[in-house]
Chains A and B, each alone.
Chain A
Amino acid sequence: MPEALKTDEILVNMGPQHPSTHGVLRILLKTDGEWVRQSRPFIGYLHRCAEKIGESVSYIQYVPYTDRLDYLGAANNDIGFALAVERLAGIEAPPRATWLRVLAAELNRIASHLLSFGTFGMEIGAFTPFFYGFREREGILTIFDKLCGARLLYHYGRIGGVMRDITPAAADETRAFLDDMETKWEEYNALLSDNEIFVRRSANVGIIPADLAIAYGLTGPPLRASGVAHDIRRAAPYLCYDKLDWDVCIGRGLKGTVGDAWDRYWVRMLEIKQSLRICRQVLDGLPEGPVMAKVPRVLKLPANELYFRTEAPRGELAFYIISDGSDKPARLRIRGPSFCNLSIVGEIARDCLVADVVVIVGSIDVVMGEVDR
């Protein structure tokens, strides 16, 4: 019998310029034909020295920098940082500001999940949900424009409260959007979730078992899709989440296995619905009062350290601040959820097809801004 045909493994580079990696990410694939034997993500292409800049800039000045970490869920970032600094400084934001922060955070969660829905569909080849997701996102961005003057990077949550009160016009527009989004959710669900091709591409792909998810420090929708009901808004409540009525969404393996890519997509879709619920409750129960507490012009924090975590759309966004009594932090460490979420790609994306790598990265939904900072 003649000796077998000699085959070689190919080293292929996916990125950093690639239409589907979410930002500048480079994944090195070692493939045997179409089968990926090994994959390694390379990061650092978007490093902007955010943490180092934090050491030379005061707390109040640093808030806009936090917006730019996860630029798709910006409201969550600046609110999280403001909360951390307020905790250290002993400042209490007024209740109206707290509720408005929840509104901004949840609206941004909807926007971020809509974008993830659109890009995930586009990577699988369905071009249309991307446009539909962006059409709804336009509604949210217009609301934010009315709320705080910016569409993407808000600087709405500030140390001590929020920047501006919500006008009745903006509140009406938000209510109209929430009603509209309910019907649109049904539409998007009908378009993509049960589509045979979509299910075949994403179910049973990139299965992350619960213990592996916890071992790699996954948080957010990827963790909840693996069946672990861990949501920081419930586990360590901040703002007024413990006063509101909402559910933690976990993946149940409806189309395949618990923790596959379809589950991660489905958890995000369910979270959109929960966020709509929260936004309605916030608008109905908004307390009266000022929106900004008294904050000194030069804010000096006592020597202390605090690790404060929030639930960003992509997972646990935490700020570890070491203050030394001055108005600038001694060390500002940002725990970006996408950094840990991305680390699992090297473990999961093996013995799969090249097309599956795209699906896996898309379902984990990373934003390189908070991976590289």
Chain B
Amino acid sequence: MMTTNFVDIINLVLTWAGGLVGLDYRVLPQLARTAIGMLIACGALIAYLGVLTMIFVWGERRVAGRIQSRQGPNRVGPQGVLQLVADGIKFLIKEDVIPETAHPLLFRLAPMLVLMGAFAPFVVLPLSQSLVVSHMSLGVYYALSFAALEVVGVIMAGWASNNKWSLYGGMRLAAQMMSYEIPMGLAVLTVVVLTGSVNLGEITGAQQGAWIFSWNIFRGFPWAFIAGCIFYTAGLAASKRTPFDLPEAESELVAGYHTEYSGMRFIMFMMAEYGTMYVISALTAILFLGGTNGPIPQVVVFGNHTYAQAGPIASNLIGMANLIGKAYVLMFVMLWVRWTYPRVRIDQIIFICMKVLVPFGIVCLIGAAAWAVLGL
């Protein structure tokens, strides 16, 4: 199992680059090298988040168009791919409008908190076996815990806007997101019980070997399968996507908690939404769908070679293709669902959470624990 991470790779690259120029990178103390590596890693993550948003907003608009029997944006750039660049420029040059009666500090702080909450889990999400910023031993829980930070940000946005409709959106969202963290946690616990570790790398490692049937949804059938469905649905609610997008319900609350936001602040909310979507998709892919393990084991692909002997670059690329492919397909499903289903009412949302998902989650957890004890 690989233990190198992104910072190590950056250090390797910098050492090589330093060698080209004639400087010895290793002269710097360890702490400085780690700090520089982490800063670059963070910059890369932010860039990845931005690129992700661009790809998926483009995808959303084109997918929405095709589902609605029309074309999406197709003028700006080939197939409209530069539409997002144009929109980004538009948002950047917009006037920064803050309502006079809005709370000055909280209004500005809210989008940052929401973006932090959506973005921090990226540290722990791998792009491939070693392209991860940190092999945190608490991987999954670190990722889930930041959903709570998003809740604070959204309540702040709803309150600080000094707008009754925003307040409605914020309060609805607080109830929704906090409730849905419970089934998400239960589903994750099911996988943790099956695997025996919270580290994302180890969970991925436990899913290799037997073709597609070593993926957790098949390995722990039926508990992990149901838990996968619960996690994905709860994640849809946590990222405020239709059918659970009541907080930003356009036809009722104009735009809910981000009604009063415009320009760059609105983009922060949007990036947070797509970031959370990606976190949920990637976590579903890693926890339940095998992560970087493809349907064909690497042993078969590389003959008798093991991971390490296959060459780190090749196995990393294959792992990246697997993981990104699964995560992006799951995100496409999120887009697809958004344009097909109507919106669920807030009391029905809470009903689904408390009376459907949580009981099923508990049953899955007990079932998985029973299987773990029985050695299945």
Using a CB–CB cutoff of 8 Å, the interface residues on chain A facing chain B are 10, 12, 18-20, 33-34, 121-128, 130-132, 135, 191-192, 195, 197-198, 200-201, 353-356, 358
Contact = CB atoms under 8 A, between A and B. Distances in A.
Among B67, B254, B343, find the residue whose CB has the most chain A CB atoms closer than 10 A: B343
B180 interface: no
Contacts of A33: 171
B342 A198 contact: yes
B339 interface: yes
B345 A200 contact: yes
B343 A197 contact: yes
A349 to B, nearest CB: 13
A200 B348 contact: yes
Contacts, number: 80
B168 A131 contact: no
B347 interface: yes
B69 interface: yes
A100 to B, nearest CB: 31
A355 B252 contact: yes
B68 A355 contact: no
Most buried by B among A128, A191, A201, A358: A128
B305 interface: no
Nearest to B343: A125
Contacts of A358: 251-252
Interface residues of B, number: 29
A361 B267 CA distance: 32
Contact of A127 (B68, B168, B171, B345): B68
Contact of A126 (B341, B346, B347): B341
A139 B348 CA distance: 38
Contacts of B251: 19-20, 122-125, 358
A131 B71 CA distance: 12
A201 B347 CA distance: 11
Given A127-B68, A128-B340, 20 more contacts: A12-B164, A12-B168, A123-B251, A125-B245, A125-B343, A128-B67, A131-B70, A195-B341, A197-B243, A197-B341, A198-B342, A200-B345, A200-B348, A201-B343, A201-B345, A353-B346, A353-B347, A355-B246, A355-B345, A358-B252
Contacts of B245: 125
Which 10 residue pairs spanning A and B have beta carbons closest together? A125-B343, A131-B68, A126-B342, A20-B251, A124-B342, A125-B342, A123-B251, A355-B345, A197-B342, A198-B342
18 contacts: A34-B346, A34-B347, A124-B342, A125-B342, A127-B68, A128-B68, A130-B68, A131-B68, A192-B342, A197-B243, A197-B341, A197-B344, A200-B344, A201-B345, A201-B348, A353-B345, A355-B345, A355-B346
Nearest to B175: A34
B96 interface: no
Interface string B219-262: 00000000000000000000000110110011110100000000
A210 to B, nearest CB: 26
Contacts of B344: 197, 200-201
B345 A132 contact: no
B246 A195 contact: no
Contacts of A125: 242-243, 245, 249, 251, 341-343
Interface string B324-359: 000000000000000111111111100000000000
Given A18-B254, A34-B168, A128 B339 contact: yes
